[in-house]
Amino acid sequence: MAEVELFVFLLFAVVVLAGLGLRSGVPYPVVLVLGGLVIGLVPGLPSPAVDPDIILFVFLPPLLYAAAISNSASELKANAKPIGLLAVGLVLVTIGAVAAVANAVMGVPWAAAFVLGAVLGPTDPVSAKAVLDRLGVTGRSKTILQGEALVNDATGLTAYRLALGAVGASAGSVFEIGFEFVGVAVAGIAIGLAVGWVFAHLRRIVTDPSLDVALSVLTPFVAYVPAEELHVSGVLATVTAGLYIGSRSLDIIEPSTRLRTLAFWESTAFLLDGLLFVIIGLQVPTIIERIEDANEVTLGLYALLITAVVMGTRALWMLVVPTILHSETTVGERIVIAWSGMRGGVSLAAALAITVEGFPKRDLVIFVAYAVILLTLVLPGLTLSVLVKRLGLQESEEHRRASAEARVRITQAALERLDELEGDAPEHVVQRLRDRYGSRLERLEARMEGDTDEGGQTDVAQAGKLMAEMIEAEREVLRAMRDERAFSDDILREVEHELDLDDSRLRARIHM
């Protein structure tokens, strides 16, 4: 099978597997990692060639940037203490624990063992977001988990780069390693801020949506490549640039352009994450064959042991550290955070990027990394739903009221501005807009007051169901008009676009 045909097949597999996940209600990262394993076990299917020199460059910057632009810098700052403890403290402890066990039990040399620990130290931002969004988790626990998954990549991958450099060489003293760690982190942040500032100004000037997407695609690579060339943290440079752009997107990017660009990055992150799972799934049989004296039972025990170390370290950390530091997090939030240590695409990219030559027990390290990623995705991904519901950490009434209150304030501002401009337009135009915004205000106030009927349904929910049926009736007529060919395709596409916008607004209103 030609490389291009294989690539198309992998993309098709990603879409099909994710679709199965959405239909079944299972988080798509879980289905992708299991599906990738199943595909890899199909006899005769070729394994795609993976060049370790380019795997991080192709996958890592866009995955990190996509996660960064959707996070709030202010919320991360407000929760800096718990995020910092998890993203730095827990990652370093996990790296040490994994390295110690891998060296003692699996016989992996220390430097290579630290590489394995660095691969498995950080959690995955894309997987965490996918699982938490499906479960409707909101509030502090979600912010902490997403912030941790975003920031801890810098800790883990900086340690990963240092550990790779130590393979076959002198690792240096603890002081030297610590000093280098701080240096590469600070320099990476500085580069990220500079790149973010430059591209923010460029995107303020550019108004064409296609050019804006192009500039957005360039941003993570322009941040990552110079940082890596200067031997500082390309991860922190990319994340910092993404956070900078994301925090200023309201001021620098046109609304329609912003929607298109965010949609592009959601799709890109989904495809890249999925491709990583499927690619390494295809390579599992070959990796196992290359492991010296490979024994399936022994390999399975190694995988379970390292998984237990990774998850057990996290659980122990959440049990002990927040208690000692008198953290503001509740017991329920700590339990969910402890059980949400999913590893994913970033760890996979790092594992695949391990150099082929001169790395002891490379295939064993990659296999164990993949197995741990699989288990840490599947176990929490399939059980978090029950846990979150039992602990009552889904979207709270307080969050729904706050969401409605925010929308009430901007709607009232719009009505006040309309009153100021009343004399500048015909009365019927003003009245039409006043009715439209007045209806929105009534719905939001009903949500704030929690108005329900005897069946427990809110007025907003009932109105949403009615509007959904009305939009579907419009779509049926649109299909009939398309069959009749009484109108041009341009007109029908415009109408279809308007219906899609109405439908998206309705979905956003129902879930707000």
Q: What is the mean pLDDT of residues 224-237?
A: 89
Q: Which residue has the tokens 């939009």?
A: 471
Please determine, for residue 194, whether its predicted confidence score (pLDDT) is greater than 90. yes
Residue-level pLDDT at 168: 54
- With the C-alpha atoms ordered 392, 393, 398, 399, is the resulting torsion angle positive or negative? negative
117 pLDDT more than 70: yes
**Would you kindly state where each structural domain of the chain is located, as residue ranges?**
3-394, 396-451, 464-512
Task: Determine if residue 361 is left, alpha or beta; phi over 0 gives left, psi from -120 to 50 gives alpha, anything else beta.
Answer: left
Residues 6+ apart with CB under 8 A from 234: 60, 61, 188, 223, 224, 225, 227, 228
- CB contact at 8 A, 281 and 81: no
pTM given for the model: 0.74
pLDDT of residue 512: 47
What is the pLDDT, as a whole number, of residue 105? Answer: 93
> pLDDT tier at 126 (50, 70, 90 boundaries)?
low
pLDDT band at 330 (very low <50, low <70, confident <90, very high): confident
Share of the chain above pLDDT 90, in %: 17
Q: How confident is the model at residue 397 (pLDDT cuts 50, 70, 90)?
A: low
Nearest Cα to 90, choosing from 309, 306, 319, 314?
A: 314
Task: Judge: domain 3-394, CATH 1.10.1760.20.
Answer: no
Question: Between the CA of residue 387 and those of 67, 341, 377, 397, what are the distances in Å?
Answer: 25, 14, 15, 19
Q: How far is CA 440 from CA 150, 410, 437, in A?
A: 36, 11, 5
**Which residues 6+ apart lie within 8 Å of 192 measured at CB?**
223, 227, 236, 237, 238, 239, 240, 241, 244
Residue 453 pLDDT > 70: no
Distance (Å, whole) CA 435 – CA 275: 48
pLDDT band at 455 (very low <50, low <70, confident <90, very high): very low
Confirm if 224 and 195 have CB atoms less than 8 A apart. no
The listed range with the strongest mean pLDDT (155-159, 302-306, 360-364, 476-480) is: 302-306
Please check the confidence at residue 175 and state whether its pLDDT lies above 70. Answer: no
User: pLDDT tens digits for 20-77?
Assistant: 877 777 777 778 878 877 887 777 776 666 666 677 788 889 988 988 887 777 777 8
Give residue 310's pLDDT band: very low, low, confident or very high (50, 70, 90): very high
Between 132 and 219, the more confident residue is: 219
